[in-house]
Amino acid sequence: MKNTTLSENAPNGPALPPGGSAREGAIAPMARLGGAAVLFVIALLGLSVVGGEWTAGRLLEAWRGGSGDPASAERTIELWTQLRLQRLLFAAAIGGVLSLAGVAFQAVLRNPLAEPYILGVSGGASVGVLSAPWWWAVGAGAMVPALAGGLAALGLLLGAARWARVRDSASLILTGAVLNAIFAAWILLLYTLLSGPQAGGSRVEVGLAWAMGNLGPERYRVLGVLPELWLVLGVGAVTLLLLARPLDLLALGEEEAADLGIEPRSHRWLSLIVGSLITAVAVAAAGPIGFVGLIVPHAVRRLVGVSHRRVIPWSIFGGALFLMLADTFARSLLPGRPLPVGVVTAMLGGPFFILLLRRRGEGDA
């Protein structure tokens, strides 16, 4: 009899033969050219739109020296290169990391609803960060407790699932949602303690902005984590690309994957750990930003098929574009009062999650 495990296939999941589909052969130079064009447009919007106002003309004027004020022109150029460009690269790195983590979780659990935020991994990393009293001062040091919190959350998730004898991915996601609610309560408690009478006002503001998902300059300039983020993204991408064939085979089921020459348990664990670690790094840098790993990999599979050799790089690219665009919208919706990008992704991801849930329900009917 076929073994039933946590990666039991579900309707509308990513499980298809490792050979992929005809759609994968259709991804040709035209698709790459289209992707480059979309990247250019979104990058231009991200650099130029501030508070709903188009500011590219100021940069062109500063470059030409037509402003008549060299000091003003220098400040304008510095604003673009030192603030906006870095913020754009920061958003791209965070988006790519979160989307890559979503690929790993969805592939292993064979369920398009699996995502680090929904499963509680982001929440665990957040609790780890807030539990460390030095996180707000040292900055990059927040990654250590975040990594510990993310791995602890993964262990709690799988341990709770085993204790409750969970045997399907849908119930595992429900378990993760419960853990996420528990972590949210802990985050509120820790934030309340941080914002007590003895806490400084700036510390409270930084903590609140971080807890809602923040890509502001205090994150990438003060913390100086931009190079580390791109390094983490690169290492994570290479690792999962090396696991692309095992992930494709795991989509067929554990027995089939074992028959085809891989050891399912070790590959599953390695993928989950990689996904949890890179999620924790993103949380430490920008706070918990949800649903990027849900929306982007699902959309990418619709476009390029299910082969992970294509899904992984295109998901990184799509995640970068998605968060760059979301951050531009967050900065422009309320002029003079930018929203945390986590608010925007939650507003988009919540309805998307419900839509996927409905489609799964129709598939089960």
- Segment among 127-136, 232-241, 265-274, 327-336 with least mean pLDDT: 127-136
pLDDT value at position 4?
Answer: 42
Q: What is the reported pLDDT for 81? A: 66
Residue range 89-364 forms a domain whose CATH class is mainly alpha
Give CA–CA dist 318/62, Å, rounded.
32
Over 90: is that where the pLDDT of 19 sits? no
Measured between alpha carbons, how far is 181 from 188 in angstroms, rounded to an integer? 11
**Residue 241: what pLDDT?**
96
The residues near 117 (Cβ < 8 Å, ≥ 6 apart) are 123, 180, 288, 289, 290, 291, 293, 294, 349
Q: Are 47 and 80 in contact (CB under 8 A)?
A: yes
How does residue 18 score in pLDDT terms, banded at 50, 70 and 90?
very low
The lowest-confidence range among 63-77, 237-251, 260-274 is 63-77
Question: What number is the average pLDDT over the span 244-251?
Answer: 90
Cα–Cα distances (Å) from 36 to 27, 30, 31, 74, 86, in that order, read: 14, 10, 9, 30, 19
pLDDT band, very low/low/confident/very high, at 48 (cuts 50, 70, 90): low
Question: 206: pLDDT confidence band, cut at 50, 70 and 90?
Answer: low
When pLDDT is cut at 50, 70 and 90, the band that residue 3 belongs to is very low
pLDDT tens track for 54-86: 555 555 555 555 555 555 556 655 666 667 788
pLDDT at 255: 82
Highest mean pLDDT among 34-48, 212-226, 271-285: 271-285
Mean pLDDT taken over the chain: 79
Average pLDDT score over residue span 181-198: 79
Give the residue from 11, 20, 8, 12 showing the smallest Cα distance to 308.
20
Percentage of the chain with pLDDT > 90?
39
What is the reported pLDDT for 256?
83
Helix axes 70-78, 56-64, angle to 10 degrees: 130
Phi, psi for 184 (deg, rounded to 5): -60, -40
Give the number of other Cβ atoms within 10 Å of residue 230's Cβ: 16
**pLDDT greater at residue 225 or residue 95:** 95
Contact 46, 322 (CB under 8 A): no
φ/ψ of residue 53, rounded to 5: -110, 140
Task: Calculate what percentage of the chain has a pLDDT beyond 70.
Answer: 71
Residue ranges of E strands in the chain: 49-50, 53-54
Name which residue leads in pLDDT, 173 or 30: 173
What radius of gyration do the chain's Cα atoms show? 21
In this prediction, residue 205 carries a pLDDT of: 67
Q: Which of 7-16, 76-85, 320-329 is least confident? A: 7-16
Least confident interval from 20-24, 102-106, 250-254, 320-324: 20-24
**Would you state the structure tokens that stand for residue 47, as one six-digit string?**
């650099």
Q: 60-99 as b/e, with b when 16 or more CB fall inside 10 Å?
A: eebeeeeeeeeeebeebeebbeeebeebbbbbbbbbbbbb
What is the pLDDT at residue 11? Answer: 38
